[in-house]
Amino acid sequence: MAIDKHEIDKLSRLARLSVSEEDSADVADRITRILDLVDQLQAVDTTGVAPMSHPLDAVQRLRADEVTELNQREAFQAVAPNAEQGLYLVPKVIE
Amino acid sequence: MHQLTVAQIAQGLREKHFSSVEITQHYLDRIAAKDDSIRAYITVCPERALAQAAAADARLAAGNAGALTGVPIAHKDIFCTKGVKTTCASKMLDNFIAPYDATVVENLDRAGTVMLGKTNMDEFAMGSSNETSFYGTPRNPWDQERVAGGSSGGSAAAVAAQLAPIASGTDTGGSIRQPASLCGLSGIKPTYGRVSRWGMIAFASSLDQGGVIARNAEDAALMLQDMASHDAKDSTNSGQPIDDFGATLNDSLQGKRIGIPKQYFGAGLDTETGNAVQAALEQYRAMGAELIEIDLPHTELAVPAYYVIAPAEASANLSRFDGVRYGHRCDNPTDLMDLYMRSRAEGFGDEVKRRIMVGAYALSAGYYDAYFRKAQQVRRLISQDFQQAFADVDFIAGPTCPQPAFKLGEKTSDPVAMYLEDIYTIPVSLAGLPAMSIPCGTSHGLPVGLQLIGRHFDETGVLQLAHQYQRATDWHTRTPAGLE
Amino acid sequence: MSWETVIGLEVHVQLATQSKIFSGSSTAFGAEPNTQASAVDLALPGTLPVPNAKAFEYAVMFGLAVNAEIGTTSHFERKNYFYPDLPKGYQTTQLEQPIVGAGYVDLNLSEGRTKRVRIHHAHLEEDAGKSLHEDFHGMSGIDLNRAGTPLIEIVSEPDMSNAEEAVAFAKQLHAIVTSLGICDGEMAQGSMRFDVNISVRRPGEPLGTRTETKNLNSFRFMEEAIKLEVERQIDVLEDGGKINQETRLYNGDTKKARAMRSKEEANDYRYFPCPDLLPVILDEGYVERVRQNIPELPDQRAARFVSDYQLSDYDAGILAADRQLSAYFEAAANNGQAKLCANWIMGDISASLNTSDMSINTCPVTPEQLAGLVARIADDTISNKQAKKVFELMWSDGGSADEIIEKHGMKQVSDTGALEQIVDEVLASKPQEVANYLAAEESKRKKMMGAFMGPIMQATKGQANPGMVNKILAQKLNALAK
């Protein structure tokens, strides 16, 4: 399936990745090639085949409800690009 | 000293032929001298390594050392290391120091291994040539004009150039086996769930699996033994008993049944590679194994299915890199949207961005059923192919890659050409099976890998198969010229 | 022509687990920002989720309490969107196979009406963090302490047709989750939050376009918001306009609502099964064990209050709706004065709690203190008026009713001899009034007794037992009349 510039625009906003005007055509071309590859799937009859999310038929283990984590704010915020008074700062959130 | 295998180093340490500090210093010196051209490492940590080595020497002296205590190793830079930069070869994490260790790192630290440094890789493990790294491309020690493979290319280059005796890697669609194949090494991807994924930065969660790149199967068994664990922090980590992986290394292969999938020898396979693999299979026959042709009918659908599933999972896994809590953040964001759009566009390289967008596309409204759901259904068909085959055979064998190492830049212009590099490794990943690549000859003077695939959790059998071959042949002992 | 309103609710209930749904961080409310956000909650690279068993147990308890099918196989999906309070860039939630399937609750409405509201399903998911909008150099601050707190999201069918029913449904859910002990029910802290889907239509016509008013955290706001939105929609439609499908916010202070700035052009959440988590299988035995341990539900408790304590249906319903309130009541009512205790709890205690913005958990008057107070009312030691004074002192300074009565000399004078003497003295001091009384017609006499009551109470400094004074006074006056 061919992807056009408009679709790249939409995807770039959905995935939060800006794509410059000049790169857009090239990105569209490469993604189109990838989609052409995966389009081979369409020819397969998968009627009645259960989707497989996980390679083993394993079952989830559950954890006991215990507080095991201590406050490590200082260590975690040491790698933060912008933190103040214990908060992560971002451009104004407008609802 | 750098020609020793891990087993020999361990023995040398126990018999006091040299200390851990001595062999660690030796490797650090080699890295300093040679890694400028090989670029196997992103980060080398001499002080930390020498401190670990000194502690290991103390343990060796006190008599409470484990099998690998004092042995220098390298970790792929996808495993988080407390206090040492973990970049995933991305600008996004250029400044990231994890406040915790990956379980794999913790396990191997506890075993007393010495971490020389963190190895180069494709950015976020997305690539088959290591050319997507933010830190430059490692060179294939056999021919420095060629790629070392990917995504664990730095680990393979380091071991092949003898800048580390052994290294960890991760494999999502072939990222251990393919570079091992291209660099003439023995690389094992265990069963999905065998090795904890905690602290291993996720690419595609249902496929990612940690493993080992070594010079031979015996060494791989030793390191895997200390790497595998039951980890309550990883829900997908298996509770299967952790076998003694080296238990049957020396057992005969008499009567073992090896399946040869006809789909692995079709068009696209380089002739000399095919010949080398055929010769290796004949060697197995000579050792008493039975070769049986098998059918894996959905093989050619594996790459398309993989390139829906892996990017889809990655598109979500990589959403956390948003410039808010860690990692790259753009300068002076004007608003929230700008912060996200630019931080991510600046922090990620082109291949990562492509895969995120493909993944977002495959999951988006109106396309989910046609792409993602379909790919998951095909995944089951591929998995069933293997299950049926394993009803008749103990192992499956074939080439690891369609061809030997290619030239730098040869495949960067066409993502699809690069993806087809993993045509024989991807089906195995989709099925979650343990598999290994071992050197079995050359093509155009470059190493060729033989892929050995086992039943779920039969790493022991796969390692036995590899080791028996290595007892009878010497491909695994060959080293590239010019790096003595 | 009239309009019909169609209302459906989505209710987020924070589960009262100690730790988060996918990490071992504390869920305690009110900690310093980001001190309860672990590597998993912050979505640091390489971190992985492991689900909390208690969250599943609580969700199953809820399911059983609303007569729902339990999903013995459930799994989690990722719901993808970018927002700074969502560290992973996706919310881990359940879509295809939720833990709780279809169920229902029955509501008791005013004038004895009842209504069944169907529950479509309820699923487990993680809460997001909070954006703080105070000004940090023109930026917002992100606190991720709440991120990863376990929630069940309860999705009703659009079965409600006015604010009363919606509020009754919300209150019933509150009563159920607090009775089960799976939620602390503290609405002001956001422990329960309501999203209301509202549409209107002409009778017999297909459903109208709906709006969603998000994040209402009090029953009163919910009622106000629904009424406001229904009015707005009708106004728009009657003016020939069109309803936009939108998300709205209601401001309880200004009593106004507005459309939210839409987060994205169109939300495309790209749900898919979370590959870091496996299917959760709960067998029949597990569900049965949870069923055995379900505490008494509000309806069952109300019925018991009626039969055991002879409360009215109304009183029983109010007390039984809240587990803590019920526990308080039962602790006080074991003195045999259940009705009186119930009145005090629903009256003075509730009013005082309201005024001081406290809950029954933090009530300064213990059930034992209340029982002591009520006992002294019942045995006529103090009057109701005195009781109010005792209660005030109890609230502010503590102490038992007996101690307070003693200390402040508030004992009601019930000594017949002493009272008779005072009555005699007062009558003697008011001959004219006595003469007037005796001359009056029978029917007017009762009213005229007030002329003596005041002075008698004054003489006893208000401590005379009014009932006894009345009785004695009547006897004495009647004797004089003869």
- Across C39-191, the runs of DSSP E, i.e. the strands, are 73-74, 77-80, 90-93, 103-108, 114-126, 130-136, 139-143, 150-156
Report the chain A residue with the minimal C-alpha distance to residue C31.
Answer: A71
Whether residue A92 lies inside any domain: the answer is: no
What are the Cα distances from residue B227, in Å, to B2, B208, B219, C345? 22, 15, 12, 63
Q: Mind listing the pLDDT tens digit for each residue in C384-425?
A: 888 899 999 999 999 998 899 888 877 767 677 788 888 888
Q: Mind listing the pLDDT tens digit for each residue in C63-112?
A: 999 999 999 999 999 999 999 999 999 999 999 999 999 999 999 888 88
- Across B362-445, the runs of DSSP E, i.e. the strands, are 395-399, 435-443
What pLDDT is attached to residue C468?
A: 80
Residue B259: closest CA among B77, B80, B387 = B387
Rounded average pLDDT over B357-378 = 96
What pLDDT is attached to residue C262?
A: 61
Candidates C52, C85, C273; nearest CB to A65:
C52
Neighbour tally for B483: CB within 10 Å: 17
Q: Which of B128, B175, B196, B443 is catalytic?
A: B175
Let me know: does C411 contact C463? Beta carbons within 8 Å: yes
Question: Do residue C32 and residue A76 have CB atoms under 8 angstroms apart?
Answer: no
Whether residue A52 lies inside any domain: the answer is: no
When the pLDDT of each residue in chain C is averaged and rounded to a whole number, the result is 91
In chain C, % of residues over pLDDT 70:
98
| Residues spanned by the domain of A14 | 5-43
Least confident span in A18-22, A84-88, B308-312, C450-454: C450-454
Residue B463: closest CA among B146, B245, B310 = B245
Among B234, B358, B363, B369, which would you mutate to test the A interface (most chain A Cβ atoms within 10 Å of its Cβ)?
B358
Q: Mind listing the pLDDT tens digit for each residue in C183-236?
A: 999 999 999 999 999 999 999 999 999 999 999 999 999 999 999 999 999 999
Residue C17: closest CA among C180, C130, C134, C132 = C180
SS3 B290: strand
What pLDDT is attached to residue C264?
A: 47
Candidates C45, C48, C84; nearest CB to B324:
C84
Portions of chain C given CATH number 1.10.10.410 = 416-481
Whether residue A30 lies inside any domain: the answer is: yes
Rounded average pLDDT over B127-144 = 97
Any chain B CB within 8 A of the CB of A40?
yes
| CA atoms of B124 and B87, how far apart (whole Å) | 9
Active site residue B151: yes
What pLDDT is attached to residue C6?
A: 97
Pairing status of strand B446-454 against strand C77-80:
unpaired
In sign, the C-alpha dihedral spanning A65, A68, A72, A75 is: negative
Report the chain A residue with the minimal C-alpha distance to residue C87.
Answer: A88
Is residue C266 over pLDDT 70? no
Measured between beta carbons, the chain C residues lying within 8 angstroms of B235 are: 48-51, 276-278
Tell me the fold of C416-481.
Answer: Arc Repressor Mutant, subunit A (1.10.10)
**Chain A, window 32-61: residues with a beta carbon less than 8 angstroms from a chain C beta carbon:** 53-54, 58-61
Whether residue A25 lies inside any domain: the answer is: yes
Question: Do residue C278 and residue A54 have CB atoms under 8 angstroms apart?
Answer: yes
> How many domains in chain A?
1
What pLDDT is attached to residue A1?
A: 64
| Residues spanned by the domain of B258 | 1-484
Rounded average pLDDT over B3-21 = 97
Question: Do residue A41 and residue B379 have CB atoms under 8 angstroms apart?
Answer: no
What pLDDT is attached to residue C229?
A: 97
Neighbour tally for B472: CB within 10 Å: 12
Any chain A CB within 8 A of the CB of B455?
no
A-C contacts at Cβ under 8 angstroms: 126
Rounded average pLDDT over B135-141 = 98
Question: Do residue A52 and residue B379 have CB atoms under 8 angstroms apart?
Answer: yes
Closest CA–CA distance from residue B233 to any residue of chain C (Å): 6
Q: Mind listing the pLDDT tens digit for each residue in A14-55?
A: 999 999 999 999 999 999 999 999 999 999 999 999 999 999
Cis link prior to B181 (omega < 30° from 0)? Answer: no
Is residue C481 over pLDDT 80? no
DSSP letter at B157?
Answer: H
Instruction: Tell me how far apart the 2 most distant CA atoms of chain C are, in Å.
Output: 99
Rounded average pLDDT over B421-450 = 97
> How many domains in chain B?
1
Question: Do residue B88 and residue C45 have CB atoms under 8 angstroms apart?
Answer: yes
Is residue C289 over pLDDT 50? yes
Measured between beta carbons, the chain B residues lying within 8 angstroms of C275 are: 204-206, 236, 313
Q: Which of B19, B151, B181, B315 is catalytic?
A: B151
Measured between beta carbons, the chain A residues lying within 8 angstroms of B379 are: 51-52
Measured between beta carbons, the chain B residues lying within 8 angstroms of A38 are: 304-305, 307-308, 362, 371, 375
Vertex B327 angle, CA B321 and B333, to 5°: 80
- Output helix, strand, coil percentages for chain B, rounded to the nearest 5: 40, 15, 40
Question: Do residue B372 and residue C272 have CB atoms under 8 angstroms apart?
Answer: yes
CATH of the domain at A26: 1.10.20
Any chain A CB within 8 A of the CB of B419?
yes
Any chain B CB within 8 A of the CB of A48?
no
Is residue C263 over pLDDT 60? no
Rounded average pLDDT over B180-190 = 98
Any chain C CB within 8 A of the CB of A68?
yes
Rounded average pLDDT over B317-343 = 97
Q: Could you tell me which residues of chain C have a Cβ less than 8 Å from any Cβ in chain B? A: 39, 42-51, 78, 80, 82, 84, 87-90, 142, 268, 270-272, 275-278
| CA atoms of C384 and C374, how far apart (whole Å) | 10
Question: Do residue C270 and residue B364 have CB atoms under 8 angstroms apart?
Answer: yes
Candidates A53, A63, A64; nearest CB to C273:
A53
Tokens representing B222 are 């030793």
DSSP string, C347-388: IIIHHHHHHTT--GGG-SS-HHHHHHHHHHHHTTSS-HHHHH
Which residues in B308-330 are b (16+ Cβ under 10 Å) and which e? bbbbbbbbbbbbbbbbbbbbbbb
Any chain B CB within 8 A of the CB of A47?
no
Is residue C1 over pLDDT 80? no
Measured between beta carbons, the chain A residues lying within 8 angstroms of B324 are: 80-81, 88, 90
Closest CA–CA distance from residue B449 to any residue of chain A (Å): 25
DSSP letter at B372?
Answer: I
Whether residue A23 lies inside any domain: the answer is: yes
Tokens representing B221 are 């068994």
Report the chain B residue with the minimal C-alpha distance to residue C280.
Answer: B235
Whether residue A38 lies inside any domain: the answer is: yes
Question: Do residue C34 and residue A13 have CB atoms under 8 angstroms apart?
Answer: no
What pLDDT is attached to residue C162?
A: 96
